[in-house]
Structure 1
Amino acid sequence: MGDGSKKDASWIDAEIDGGGFRDARLGERLRKLMRQLDNSLGQPIPMACEDWANTKAAYRFLANGSVNEGPILAGHFRATAQRAAASDGLILVLQDTTEFVYQRASPESIGFTKHVNSGQDKDGRWRQHKLCGVMMHASLAITLDGLPLGLTAARFWTRAQFKGLLALKRKVNQTRVPIETKESFRWLENMRASTSLLGDAARLVHIGDRENDIYEFFCATQELGTHFVVRTCVNRLAGNGKHTVAAEMAEVAVAGYHRLEIADGSWANLAVKFKRINVLPPIGKARRYPPLTLTVIHAKEVDAPEGRKPIDWKLLTDLPVECAEEAIEKMAWYAMRWKIELFFKILKSGCSAEKLKLRTAERLVNLLAIFCILAWRIFWMTMLNRALPDESPDCALTATEINLLDQLAGRAGRDLASSSTLSAYLCEIARLGGYLARKHDPPPGNMLMWRGWSRLMDIQLGAAIASSRYG
């Protein structure tokens, strides 16, 4: 990729739909800008572009009124659908929302994300201020092995004002407000867009956290013939309407136990129970939406240690569950939701998305859309090392990159060509980012991969300059 040849930019070409722009020159500029940013991941635009002419061209592209996240991401969405079609088994579609926060002298040109407390005044009253920034709601398709296939939908927005919202919530029953008028409608929009993009709705399982506990969402999946696993936080009416889901689940016996490793390396013992329940819609929407027969899975930690809140998962799914093993399987699918958080982390830490200095929301969104593709690529390579370690390296790397890694490894006395596996080459990239590759070390993570990738791009640029000068 460093020399700008079409061969070295092949992965970028596969993720871009140059024809999505009315002006073909915009497609070419996007391709060049992506190549520059990929070669200098996490660096400011002037450093990535290297001179004033390219920097000015990048800023003009981002400010162009004909450019938005739609055509920027169109090629990537299409490539995601192709990767999904080539994959076997179920596809998990993870949804979540994140925010990118900025500090600006004139925040109104970007917009706001939320109110936060900023301390107390001299009378002890809490003061609040609005955070300047952009919201993003994304859907990420992954395989059951955790391999990220790419984004299937993404929406960006800002909030202009908040005045009166809390007062409105005290006066209006939110369950009676049409979902189409709420910000939470984004969950349905992304689910529908993802299902339309990937096709074969029965093969998809949409995964969401408690913010996704929306009755209209459940009904929409039934209409499309797709599936979901969502963590629930609403205790809805069930059965004949005279009791709740929680009351019915309280009478269900424990079906089995599951031992789960948590983030700090300790283990938790979960008591698992499940039941197929007739769940009723909110009272204010009973005429519009039908009752649904859903499976409720409840996993609660037994004998939790002091000082840590016990794990208590309550999941809803339209899929049938016949035994404890199937319930644990659905819990494992929900646990995969964490991968979209890792994707957001790469965006913010690897691509430095919150350090951008662009002045308007439109320009920020255009650059964030480009970063989404670059962040996916790093995430994909990281997980490819774990899901398909024995594949050939040319499925992810160009011939130039493979040759450079062979030379770098050779200088340290390592022979990559003898194993010729993808894992060996990706670990060599991670070594450039500080990975020690000791015998019992786990596979390298995303941060090591993007640091190593940045160094490899610098080395590749130096090699290209030396080759052009000395032959």
Structure 2
Amino acid sequence: MRRDFSDLDDMRLLYRGNKILSDLFRKGLHSIRQISTTDADAKGMYRFLQNERVSEDDIIMNLASNCKKACKGKYVICIQDTTEINLSSHSRRITKDDFIGTTNAKNSQGLGFFIHPSLVLDAQNGTPYGYAAIKVWNRPLKFTSKFERGYSKLPIEEKESYKWLEVSKNTQASLKDFVPAMVIVQDREGDIYEQFATIPNATTELLVRARTDRKLKDKTSLFSNLETEPAQGSYQIEVDSCAKTKRKKRTATIEIRYKEVELNRPTNVSKAIASSLKLFFIEASETGYTGKDKICWRLLTTMNVENVEIAKNCIEWYSWRWTIEEVFKILKKEGFNIEASELEYASSVRKLSLLIMEVVIKLFLMRLAYAEPELEISSNSCFTEEEEEFLEHQIDHLEGKTEKQKNPYKQKDLKRYVWVIARLGGWKGYESKRHPGITTLWIGLKYFKAAMEGWTISRNVSTR
């Protein structure tokens, strides 16, 4: 399926929106001037982003529509997290209006906004389907501390942390008629009693990393509850080395423990909420290693963990959180660098951020297509027929003399054209080596766009 806009106010806006999506994908840049080939194109993009007839909600609705079409009938994992878009370096230039406010930037009072998406993946193979819901918001321009606002005494609906419940509810509303069941996955910030009490239903489960060592109904503490329990199973994973943290490569043995626990309602939670909740507590802890980076994940879930296989599934699904972190990396400094945008209005930066996030899904599809050979993903999910024709020509130039350097995939298979993009991005083409990553594909797309423009011009000139 094509990941395009399908519902905007008129056909001209629809055309312009889809052209911007296409140009962002092909060129991998945030700068309107660098994306545009003419002044008219640049003006059209600026006007689209500033047009009041194209709201953030309109863009999010179209992104959610793409997601719903892609995941229909699938059992899905919905991963949430928050990222901050820091525009402090543009504080003298950017317009101070209702779309920008203070942020958490270190060493100074930041300026920008926040994005909190619900990224939907296939529960079986991790195929990215898009975003079921996205919340974009900003704080006031005048900074006030939590103490000044009496934050701890506010009802959950008035706290910023309500974003977790709000996006969970919006995810349910968005997908209820499209998927048979979903698991909502969140990091520690999502460990909110009210959420466990109100979000789960017949088709929705929660899987959240435990943040605090809660007191339980039986007077014990959550984190110590599994200390005397025997391991229910174990598995091994390879931990890569990291020069930044001086971590050495190692094989980690992870032991799995799980148990049903009953949480007490915290004192600051409304008495209208259930006084206690039964959940399953899962611990994945590294054994035989005492370093500071020892792996220990403690997860709370509404799922009935009746055997170790279900516990393993929960641990794997939680590990997929890196996917949403990659979305944020590509949106920011390791990819499109949206925080360096030259746009004068935060409202335009917010819209452009949403467009880039949709483009990132195509990058993920390309990587997945290559990493999982058994998956069949159609090439038209990322490329037009004309682009495929150009990529076929590129294959002739990029293939080596040996069979190992030949493109082994058939036409109309996305993997065939990902091979080309990866080669343009610097990948050597050997199947025995590591598969191309997101950064390689992103670099390859930039070369692809430039090469295709030259090919198009040459072909047009030769037919005159």
TM-score (norm 2): 0.87
Q: 1:413 to 1:79 in 2, by over 3 A?
A: closer
- CA shift, 1:160, in A, is 2.1
Q: Secondary structure at the match of 1:237?
A: coil
- CA shift, 1:161, in A, is 4.8
Give the counterpart of 1:449 among 420, 423, 441. Answer: 441
> 1:132 maps to what in 2?
111
Aligned partner of 1:297: which letter? Answer: I
* Structure 2 residue 267 is the aligned partner of structure 1 residue 283: yes
Give the counterpart of 2:135 among 155, 175, 184. Answer: 155
- CA shift, 1:224, in A, is 6.4
> 1:404 maps to what in 2?
390
Q: 1:195 to 1:263 in 2, by over 3 A?
A: farther
> 1:16 maps to what in 2?
5
Equivalent residue runs for 1:26-41 within 5 Å: 26-41=13-28
- Separation in 2 of the partners of 1:149 and 1:45? 27
Aligned partner of 1:83: which letter? Answer: A
Q: Secondary structure at the match of 1:252?
A: coil
> 2:363 maps to what in 1?
378
Give the counterpart of 2:120 among 132, 141, 152. Answer: 141
Q: 1:194 to 1:403 in 2, by over 3 A?
A: same
Aligned partner of 1:267: which letter? Answer: T
CA deviation string 1:265-308 (max 9, x = no partner): 422222221101122221232622112211001122222254x3
- CA shift, 1:405, in A, is 2.1
Task: Say which is worse superposed, 311-320 or 176-185, in terms of deviation.
Answer: 176-185
Whether contact under 8 Å (2:261, 2:280) holds in the other structure is yes
CA deviation string 1:165-201 (max 9, x = no partner): 24348x66x2x53110011111111111111111267
Q: 1:394 to 1:202 in 2, by over 3 A?
A: closer
Aligned partner of 2:287: which letter? Answer: V
> 1:72 maps to what in 2?
59
- Separation in 2 of the partners of 1:439 and 1:326? 33
Give the counterpart of 1:260 among 237, 241, 247. Answer: 237
Task: Say which is worse superposed, 47-56 or 154-163, in terms of deviation.
Answer: 154-163
Q: 1:184 to 1:288 in 2, by over 3 A?
A: same
> Percent identity at matched positions?
26
Q: 1:80 to 1:465 in 2, by over 3 A?
A: same
Q: Secondary structure at the match of 1:246?
A: coil
Whether contact under 8 Å (2:422, 2:436) holds in the other structure is yes
* Structure 2 residue 49 is the aligned partner of structure 1 residue 57: no
- Separation in 1 of the partners of 2:197 and 2:53? 36
Give the counterpart of 2:305 among 312, 318, 321. Answer: 321
- CA shift, 1:436, in A, is 1.1
> 1:365 maps to what in 2?
350
- CA shift, 1:388, in A, is 4.8
Aligned partner of 1:221: which letter? Answer: I
CA deviation string 1:417-436 (max 9, x = no partner): 87444323312210001111
The CA RMSD measured in Å over matched residues stands at 2.4
Q: Secondary structure at the match of 2:365?
A: helix
Equivalent residue runs for 1:334-345 within 5 Å: 334-345=318-329
Aligned partner of 2:47: which letter? Answer: R
Aligned partner of 2:232: which letter? Answer: A
Whether contact under 8 Å (2:70, 2:129) holds in the other structure is yes
> 1:4 maps to what in 2?
none
* Structure 2 residue 189 is the aligned partner of structure 1 residue 211: yes
- Separation in 1 of the partners of 2:264 and 2:295? 27
Whether contact under 8 Å (1:390, 1:422) holds in the other structure is no
Whether contact under 8 Å (2:425, 2:444) holds in the other structure is yes
- Separation in 2 of the partners of 1:427 and 1:139? 30
List alignment gaps of at least 5 residues for structure 2: 242-248, 401-405
Whether contact under 8 Å (1:258, 1:328) holds in the other structure is no
Aligned partner of 2:198: which letter? Answer: A
Q: Secondary structure at the match of 1:285?
A: coil
- CA shift, 1:162, in A, is 6.6
Task: Say which is worse superposed, 354-363 or 319-328, in terms of deviation.
Answer: 319-328
Whether contact under 8 Å (1:68, 1:362) holds in the other structure is no
- CA shift, 1:406, in A, is 2.1
- CA shift, 1:63, in A, is 1.6
Q: 1:412 to 1:56 in 2, by over 3 A?
A: closer
- CA shift, 1:247, in A, is 4.3
Whether contact under 8 Å (2:421, 2:445) holds in the other structure is yes
Aligned residues: 440
Aligned partner of 1:273: which letter? Answer: R
Aligned partner of 2:165: which letter? Answer: L
Task: Say which is worse superposed, 194-203 or 130-139, in terms of deviation.
Answer: 194-203
- CA shift, 1:395, in A, is 4.4
- CA shift, 1:353, in A, is 1.3
CA deviation string 1:140-163 (max 9, x = no partner): 001131211111111112222574
> 1:123 maps to what in 2?
none
Whether contact under 8 Å (1:208, 1:229) holds in the other structure is yes
Whether contact under 8 Å (2:409, 2:416) holds in the other structure is no
Q: Secondary structure at the match of 1:77?
A: helix
> 2:216 maps to what in 1?
238
> 1:5 maps to what in 2?
none
CA deviation string 1:209-255 (max 9, x = no partner): 10111111112222464101110012223225x33323433343332
Whether contact under 8 Å (1:272, 1:300) holds in the other structure is yes
Q: Secondary structure at the match of 2:82?
A: strand
Whether contact under 8 Å (1:153, 1:194) holds in the other structure is yes
Q: Secondary structure at the match of 2:223?
A: helix
Aligned partner of 1:165: which letter? Answer: S
Q: 1:130 to 1:316 in 2, by over 3 A?
A: same
Whether contact under 8 Å (2:86, 2:105) holds in the other structure is no
Whether contact under 8 Å (1:99, 1:134) holds in the other structure is yes
* Structure 2 residue 164 is the aligned partner of structure 1 residue 180: no
CA deviation string 1:357-397 (max 9, x = no partner): 11222111111111111122112221222235563753433
- CA shift, 1:333, in A, is 0.9
Q: 1:402 to 1:106 in 2, by over 3 A?
A: closer
Task: Say which is worse superposed, 196-205 or 459-468, in terms of deviation.
Answer: 196-205
Task: Say which is worse superposed, 65-74 or 205-214, in terms of deviation.
Answer: 65-74
